[in-house]
A and B are shown apart, each in its own frame.
Chain A
Amino acid sequence: EAGVAQSPRYKIIEKRQSVAFWCNPISGHATLYWYQQILGQGPKLLIQFQNNGVVDDSQLPKDRFSAERLKGVDSTLKIQPAKLEDSAVYLCASVPLAGGWDEQFFGPGTRLTVL
């Protein structure tokens, strides 16, 4: 089966600019996660979708970050405006259904550098 797809793989922007990341989960996976992984740290959950609804966005900096999953399939994460501390790898992951015992499959990530 195809894995989780993400694009772009790399992005370099200047602070205060906007950026968007795209994720296409494994076909049939109802639950999609966006994680932020700062260099040298473990991934931190930003937002969790169940189909097209938000389940958990408690750690999403909503003043600058937004995410959507309009049709319950692929998802977009946006940062506007970007700050230096947003430099990180943004990982997307999916599972068939949240709370089951299935493995969370991760995409390759988007490495963002904010100058």
Chain B
Amino acid sequence: GENVEQHPSTLSVQEGDSAVIKCTYSDSASNYFPWYKQELGKRPQLIIDIRSNVGEKKDQRIAVTLNKTAKHFSLHITETQPEDSAVYFCAASKNAGGTSYGKLTFGQGTILTVHP
């Protein structure tokens, strides 16, 4: 089955700096890569996702890049703010437009701390 490795496990930055979290996946058939943010004691919430037919996607201060050949994808957060502090999870799945796929395999998580 799919295996997703995530690094680093903890990341500490100063407010205004950039943060980068990296994930690798094992199954070349995976084609959907979401990123979730989980604040302490709360549910995971989707912050950005990318499909395998694109190499990069950006939404304001957040961007994700995908390298299918190397089977890795990264989350980039620019101009970090204290409210970005949370645990971030990458995930991978095989989606096929409505068939019995969609199972998410998550990475181990990265604890991001943004110091004011």
- Given that A91-B43, A106-B44 are contacting pairs, would A100 and B108 also be in contact in the complex, using a CB cutoff of 8 Å? no
Asked if A77 lies at the interface with its beta carbon under 8 angstroms from chain B, I say no
Identify which of B46, B99, B103 contacts A103 (C-beta below 8 A): B46
- For residue B45, CB closer than 8 A to chain A, the reply is yes
Q: A40 touches which one: B6, B98, B106, B109 (CB < 8 A)?
A: B109
How many chain A residues sit at the interface, stated as a range, is 20 to 34
Residues of chain B contacted by A104 (CB below 8 angstroms): 34, 46, 102, 104
Q: A108 near B: Cβ within 8 Å?
A: yes
> Looking at the complex, which one of A100, A106, A107 makes contact with B95 (CB distance below 8 Å)?
A100
A98, B100: Cβ atoms under 8 Å? yes
Pair A103/B97 contact, Cβ less than 8 Å: no
The prevalent SS among residues of B at the interface is: loop
What's the interface size class on B, roughly?
20 to 34
A25 proximal to B (CB < 8 A) = no
Q: Is B89's beta carbon under 8 Å from chain A?
A: yes
A interface, CB within 8 angstroms of B: 31, 33, 40-45, 48, 50, 55-56, 58, 91, 95, 97-101, 103-104, 106-109
Measuring CB to CB, which residues of chain B are less than 8 angstroms from any residue of chain A?
1, 4, 6, 32, 34, 42-46, 49, 51, 89, 91, 94-109
23 sample A-B contacts, Cβ–Cβ < 8 Å, listed by A number: A40-B108, A41-B108, A41-B109, A42-B106, A42-B107, A42-B108, A43-B44, A43-B104, A44-B106, A48-B103, A50-B100, A56-B103, A58-B1, A98-B99, A99-B96, A99-B99, A99-B101, A100-B97, A100-B98, A101-B51, A101-B97, A103-B49, A109-B43
